[in-house]
Structure 1
């Protein structure tokens, strides 16, 4: 084998070609272009009546579930606060109350978003991005029926928040 055939001069190890993997790895690569997320179909036409009905049903079911969860958590919070015991019991109760409060706040926040989405359905503006005015897209709404923004606009908001650009 000669040097052109991939062996080194000692015949033991292959010769390194000029464009080896290590050389290629050291060279900067162009940025990878990613396809648009699958959940962003904002260029599609408005939602069909069937899709709206399906989304309304999903919103109403989620709303009923949240109302039940909120009621349960409020009762659980009251029950925890009534228990009296030693310091360890109080610490455990405080932790449980804190967790219950956070979950309750989250549920109340989502409930408000659902109520907002249902109100937008009644006024005829449901499914439109509040930031751009463009359609949000059925697949995104199917995953999160109370979504207020398109995927692209939501990503922009999150980028601005991370970089401190948000007010």
Structure 2
């Protein structure tokens, strides 16, 4: 055990699944300000959180696709057909948002791999664990995000 993290040994002839980690995190673990920022345990915690979120989105997307296929029946009533088309358009917009969210999750997973996860893209400073817990795909600290939103509002108001 190193730094509270249990490491599992794998024999050299085993294939390693990149989605399975040898790091064991005790149940109920929460990243804390009292431990080194983005230590191995915190990185694994956020990796699992991101992968779980992605899997939930993909599962929901598959279910949505099945529902759309089932509802793709011909409706004899014009009002039923219009209602079905409206529902379909809403579902497709939601799936597009989910697709974009998955891309952001994948980008966060890439940042975990390259060591830049948890650091503000604008300032290089650590993003608070509280913010990462609430929004694990965050790329900006709260302060940098607020500056970004203020600039955006100024340009939008013109």
- Residue 62 of structure 1 and its aligned partner are, at CA, apart by 0.4
Cα offsets for 1:4-39 (capped at 9, x unmatched): xxxxxxxxxxxxxxxxxxxxxxxxxxxxxxxxxxxx
Q: Does 1:139 align with 2:130?
A: yes
Give how far 1:165 is off.
6.4
1:59 maps to which of 50, 57, 69: 50
**Cα shift readout 1:81-140 (whole Å, capped 9, x = no counterpart):** 333222111121122112211211121111111100001111111111112222112111
Q: Number of matched residues?
A: 124
CA distance in 1, matches of 2:93, 2:78: 22
Q: Tell me what 1:101 maps to.
A: 92
Q: Which has the larger radius of gyration?
A: 1
1:26-105 matched pairs, under 5 angstroms: 46-105=37-96
Q: TM-score, normalised by structure 1?
A: 0.66
> Where does the alignment leave 5 or more consecutive residues of structure 2 unmatched?
1-32
Match of 1:119 in 2: 110
The 4+ residue runs of structure 1 with deviation greater than 4 A are none
State the secondary structure of the residue aligned to 1:85. Answer: coil
- Structure with the bigger RCO (C-alpha within 8 Å, sep 6+) is 1
TM-score relative to the length of structure 2:
0.70
